[in-house]
Amino acid sequence: MCYDEKEIIMTTSLYILLVVDTIIAFILLYLFQIPFKKINNKFLLFFLFLIKCVLLIYLGLALIAFDYSIVWNHEYPFAALYLVLVPDTIKDIICFILSLFKKEKSNKFKIGIALTLTIIFTLYNVINMQTIIANYHKISSSKLKHEYRLIFFSDLHYGSSQSQRTVDKALDDIKNLNPDYLLLGGDITDENTTKEELQYLYKKISSLNIPTYFIYGNHDRQERAIAKYGARTYSEEELESTILSNNIKILYENFEEINDDLILLGREDPSHPDKRKQVKDLPQFSKDKYVLVVDHTPYQDEEIKELNADLQFSGHTHAAQFFPIKTIYEIIGLNVFGDYYIGNTHLYVSSGIAGWGLPLRSEKHCNYEVIDLLPE
């Protein structure tokens, strides 16, 4: 059996599992709410609504941000509960609005609305994860003497959430954009990536014949695989040798000078504080040149100010991946998605080209960033 056939069987099996778990979650949620509906106390029903809101937020965070081994090992049942909770709370809001107009609806109508919304929401999550969109940026500076087209992407998590066909098509599309350089912004692989997938991916990237630079994210080295699976599928040495043998340069707390006007500086991920240098200890470079920093995690505001680069591209957040976690991140002040201006530095946080763990995404689209740097 060839690799493509194995992938189709595996992907189909996982989607069937997701559908079955979602049906079970839908039934259990309906049964759980029956006693509350029978009492028909408005205060109690509002309290139930708040509980569901808190639970769906907690589940979204557990699926994307919290290091819970129980979620790692049972992510599909947890995801299924999330997939039914969001539509069910929306159903509650719809029914409440209808009640304001004295239009009370039957129980069958409410179940039908919840079921319809669950199907739509689940399909959107699946389709959104398998849809990769180019995101264009035009940036000009008086420091630049030449035009450059760079492609940045992060958070591919290869073998985790997208099919090989989806990834291959995105890489072919990137090649057709004729970039001068490709920047890999970390978490290109993760704990779910096999050694064979690792080798296939970097060989595919190398075949694009685009000068490519890589930085580490917090998942590439598979450190969590020990806690999740008991062992890694590849060592850190095998990861590094695979990258280097495919003519990809690792920017490891150092920089590359392009022509006489552009500097690409790559940072170690903050999850490795023993390997990440303080700004004052980084190799010195001319601030008269345009400095583009690639740093997987976008949260180090004080370091960004101190480094005082012109531009930084980061990933890591996946734009929160699961609704409404992006809003929660924004409320607590995290750099989660889009443009930020920190000191003199323009920071852009990408939503990532894929996502982690599950083939589901209900927040922003999967993106790779097309960066056109232009002389002013």
Residue whose pair of structure tokens reads 């583009």 in the numeric block: 292
Contacts 24+ apart (CB under 8 A), 35-41: 37/107
Pairing of strands 212-214, 181-184: parallel
Q: Give the whole-angstrom CA distance, residue 335 versus residue 314.
A: 10
Torsions phi, psi for 149 (to 5 deg): -115, 120
Q: Give the whole-angstrom CA distance, residue 218 versus residue 298.
A: 12
Provide the token pair at 210. Answer: 């685009």
- CB of 61 closer than 8 Å to CB of 334: no
pLDDT tens digits, the chain, 376 residues: what are they? Answer: 444 544 554 567 888 899 999 999 999 999 999 898 888 788 888 999 999 999 999 999 999 988 777 887 889 999 999 999 999 999 999 998 888 887 777 888 999 999 999 999 999 999 999 999 999 999 999 999 999 999 999 999 998 899 999 999 999 999 999 999 999 999 999 998 999 999 999 999 999 999 999 999 999 999 888 777 778 999 999 999 999 999 999 999 999 999 999 999 999 999 999 999 999 999 988 889 999 999 999 999 999 999 999 999 999 999 999 999 999 999 999 999 999 999 999 999 999 999 988 999 999 999 999 999 999 9
Class of residue 226 by CB neighbours under 10 A (exposed 0-12, middle 13-18, buried 19+): exposed
pTM here? Answer: 0.92
Q: Give the whole-angstrom CA distance, residue 162 versus residue 136.
A: 22
| Residue (of 345, 295, 355) closest to 325 by Cα position | 355
| Residue (of 192, 186, 188, 272) closest to 232 by Cα position | 192
DSSP 317-356: SGGGSSTTHHHHHHHTT---SEEEEETTEEEEE---SS-S
H helices present in 211-361, as ranges: 223-229, 236-245, 301-307, 325-331
